[in-house]
Amino acid sequence: MQGLFITFEGIDGAGKSSHIDTLAQALRAAGRQVTLTREPGGTPLAEKLRAMLLHDAMDALTETLLVFAARRDHLRVVIEPALARGDVVLCDRFTDATFAYQGVGRGFDLQVLSYMERLAQTGIALEPDLMRNPDLTLWFDVPPEVAAERLAAARTPDRFEAEGVEFFTRVARGYADRAAGATQRFARLDGAQPRAQVAAQMLAAVAARGWLQGATP
C-alpha cells in the first residue's frame, strides 16, 4: 500500500494528542501499518533538541534552527523510511506548527521559514525533488481561552505552554492562515466540542478520503 502522512495540529491545550491513538486503532482495523511519532522529537537526536526547545531560553532564530534540525533528522530516520514501507505515519505536529508558533507567534520572517522548509524537507524521499508535506492535516481548532483553561489544570507548563493568551491568539491565527492556504490538505475540527464528538469529526475526515475502508465496527 502507498504510505500516508497525517499530521495533528493545534495550539497547546487543543486536545489533539489525546486523539492520535484513536485514529491509529481505526487505521489498524482497516489493515494498515501505523507509525506514531511527534515533533519536535521522534529520534534520539531530535528528542535531545526537543528538551532544549521546551526548557532552555533562546531567541526566535535559535528556536527555529533547532526545530528544522530536529525535523530533518526525523524525516531522514523515521518518516521517510516508514512511508517507503507503506505505513501510515501519524505525527503530532509538523511544519504548520513552525509557521504558527515561530512565524506568527514569535514574529519570525515567513519567507525565511519557507526557505528553511524547502531546505530541510527536500532530498530525503524516494523522489529526490519532493518537498515532503502531509497528505492530511487534522487541525484541532480551539479558542485560546478554552485552551488556557485546559492547560491551567494540566501538568507544570513548559516554555511554550507558559505563554499568555495573546501569544496563543497569534498562533491560532497562524494556523488559520496555513489552513486558508492549503484547503485541500487541512481538515478543521472543532476541538471545543466533547471528546467523543471531536473523535467522530476526526474519523469522518479520514474516512472521507477512503482511508478507513475495511475497518471493523
List residues forming the annotated binding site for ATP: 10-17
Closest CA to 3 of 76, 85, 90: 85
Identify the helix (H) or strand (E) that includes residue 91: strand 88-92
Are the C-beta atoms of residues 128 and 194 closer than 8 Å to each other?
Answer: no
Grid coordinates given for 105:
507567534
Q: Which residues contact 138 (CB under 8 A, 6 or more apart)?
A: 6, 7, 8, 9, 16, 19, 23, 187, 189, 202, 205, 206
Helix then strand count (H, E) for the chain reads 9, 5
Task: Name 137's bridge partners.
Answer: 7, 186
Distances in whole angstroms, Cα of residue 196 to Cα of each of 15, 26, 70, 121, 200 = 12, 14, 33, 34, 6
Closest CA to 176 of 10, 12, 40: 10
Phi/psi-derived region of residue 42, left when phi > 0, alpha when psi is between -120 and 50, beta in every other case: left
Distance CA 1, CA 68 (A): 29
Binding residues: 10-17
